[in-house]
Amino acid sequence: MFVPSLWVVSAAIVERGVMEGFIRGLPKVELHLHIEGTLEPEMMFEMAGRNGVTLPFADVDEVRAAYQFSDLQSFLDIYYQGAEVLQTERDFHDLMWAYLSRMAGENLRHAEIFFDPQTHLGRGIGFETFMGGFATAQQNARERLGITTKLIMCFLRHLDGAEAVATIRAAMPFKGAIAAVGLDSGERGNPPERFADAFAMAREAGLRAVAHAGEEGPPAYITGALDVLGAERIDHGVACEQDEALLDRLVASRIPLTMCPLSNVKLRVFDVMEDHNLKRLLDRGVAVTVNSDDPAYFGGYLTDNYLAIQRALDLSRDDLVALARNGIEATFLDDPSKAVLLADLAAYAAG
Ligand code: ADE
Ligand code: ZN
C-alpha cells in the first residue's frame, strides 16, 4: 500500500491553501444567484422571531440537517417555505446586504441577482417592499464596498403564463431598477414556450432576458429558451451536451452558461463533482461561468464553488482565469465597465 510521506502530505496542504488564496483574490462576478437562496438559517430564525412566523424547526442545526435533497423539487419545497420569513423592507435589505457584505471578502466586483416576485406577491408583499429593501443595500454596496449590482426578475415556471404576464405588468413602475427577466423554479414538465408573452413584453420594455434551462430538463428547453424567449444567457445548461447541434451553436454564438457546481451535486444532477461536465464544455469552447445559485442551501458561496470544481476536475490557473473572464464578458455591463474588470483580472493573473 502506498503511504504518502509527511513531506508529500504537507506539500499538498500548502498547494491547496495557495490555490484557495488565488481563487479568493480573483476579481469575480456572479451571474446566477437567487437572493432568496442566500437566507442563512440564523437569519431565518431572526426574521421569524421579529415577524411572528413559526418555523417547523427547533433550531438552526435542525434546519441545516433538513438540507438533504433528492432533486430540484425537494429543494424548492423547503426553499419556498424558508422565504416566508421575508416580510418587511428591512428583511429584504438585510438579506441583500448580508450577501453583498460577505462577498466583499471574496473580491466580488459585480453581481446580477435573481429575485422571485411571485413568491412574495402571493403572500401580499408588494414590489415597493422588496424593491425598496434591495435598492438601499445595492446603493450601500456600490458606495461602501465597490460592488456593483443588477437585478433580474424571475418568473416561476410552475405557475402559468398568464401569471407571468400579470407579474411583468405589475413590475412596470419599477422597470428602471430591473435589468433583465429570467425563468426559474421546477423545470421538468414546464417548458419555456409557455412564457413567450411575458418575455416578449419584457423585451419590448427594454429588459434583457435569461432563463434556467437544461438543469433537469432536456436540451430542447435550452433551444426553446434561446429561440422563443430570446434568452441571452442560459442558467445551468448542463444538458446541452446531449445535443451536438446545440453545442455547436453555443460555441459559435458564445451564449454563456451560468453553471453552479455545488448546486448540481446537492440536487443530484451529478452524483459526484468529478462527473461534472464544466471542464469538457470549457475545453470545447462554450462560454462557461461559475456561480453559486442558492449558497445558503448548497454548502458554499462563490469561492467555494470555484474551489470545489477546481479540485474535482484539476483545473489550472489558466482555466480559472478563463472562467472569471467568461463571467465578466457575460455580464450586462456596458463595454467600458467590462474593460475595467477585464484589465483588473489580467493584472491579477499576470501578478
Ligand atoms: N430557484 C432557486 N434555485 C433554483 C434552481 N437551481 N433551479 C430552478 N429554480 C431555482
Ligand atoms: Zn438557479
DSSP output for 22-60: HHHHS-EEE--BBGGGG--HHHHHHHHHHHTPPPS-SSH
Q: How confident is the model at residue 15 (pLDDT cuts 50, 70, 90)?
A: confident
Residues 96, 35 contacting (CB under 8 angstroms): yes
Q: How confident is the model at residue 12 (pLDDT cuts 50, 70, 90)?
A: confident
Domain for residue 80, yes or no? yes
Q: Is the CB of 294 under 6 A from ligand 1?
A: yes
Q: Is the CB of 212 under 6 A from ligand 1?
A: yes
Q: 215 catalytic, yes or no? A: yes
Domain for residue 10, yes or no? no
Task: Cell 413584453: give the residue.
Answer: 201
pLDDT at 146: 98
Domain for residue 16, yes or no? no
| Closest C-alpha to ligand 1, atom 4 | 185
Q: Is the CB of 214 under 6 A from ligand 1?
A: no
34 Cα: distance to centroid of ligand 2 (angstroms): 6
167-190: average pLDDT: 98
Q: Is the CB of 36 under 6 A from ligand 1?
A: no
Q: How far apart are CA 192 and CA 225, in angstroms?
A: 6
Q: How far apart are CA 271 and CA 16, in angstroms?
A: 23
The amino acid sitting at 144 is R
Q: Is 299 left (phi over 0), alpha (psi -120 to 50) or beta?
A: left
Domain for residue 12, yes or no? no
191-195: average pLDDT: 98
210-236: average pLDDT: 98
Instruction: Dig out the grid coordinates for 150 from the structure.
Output: 443588477
Question: CA nearest 216: which of 246, 245, 184, 247?
Answer: 184
Asked whether the predicted pLDDT for residue 1 surpasses 70, the reply is no
Q: In a mutational test of the pocket of ligand 1, which residue from 155, 215, 216, 266 has the highest number of ligand atoms less than 8 Å from its CB?
A: 215
Percent of the chain with pLDDT over 90: 95
Q: Which atom of ligand 1 is nearest to the CA of 185?
A: 9
Q: How far apart are CA 24 and CA 283, in angstroms?
A: 23
Q: In a mutational test of the pocket of ligand 1, which residue from 30, 34, 190 has the highest number of ligand atoms less than 8 Å from its CB?
A: 34
- pLDDT tens for residues 29-56? 999 999 999 999 999 999 999 999 999 9
Q: Is the CB of 157 under 6 A from ligand 1?
A: no
Q: Is the CB of 263 under 6 A from ligand 1?
A: yes
User: What SS3 class is residue 210?
Assistant: strand
Q: What is the residue range of 77's domain?
A: 25-350
Residues 234, 225 contacting (CB under 8 angstroms): yes
Domain for residue 140, yes or no? yes
Domain for residue 13, yes or no? no
Question: CA nearest 51: which of 92, 80, 99, 101?
Answer: 92
CATH number at residue 201: 3.20.20.140
* Average pLDDT score over the chain: 97
pLDDT at 7: 76
181 Cα: distance to centroid of ligand 1 (angstroms): 14
Asked whether the predicted pLDDT for residue 11 surpasses 90, the reply is no
Q: Which ligand is nearest to the CA of 79?
A: 1
> What pTM did the predictor assign?
0.97
Domain for residue 1, yes or no? no
319 Cα: distance to centroid of ligand 2 (angstroms): 23
Asked whether the predicted pLDDT for residue 17 surpasses 90, the reply is no
The active-site residue, picked from 215, 216, 274, 329, is: 215
Q: Which ligand is nearest to the CA of 291?
A: 2
Q: Is the CB of 37 under 6 A from ligand 1?
A: yes
3 Cα: distance to centroid of ligand 1 (angstroms): 43
- pLDDT tens for residues 250-279? 999 999 999 999 999 999 999 999 999 999
Query: How many domains are there within the chain?
Result: 1
Q: Is the CB of 185 under 6 A from ligand 1?
A: yes
Domain for residue 17, yes or no? no
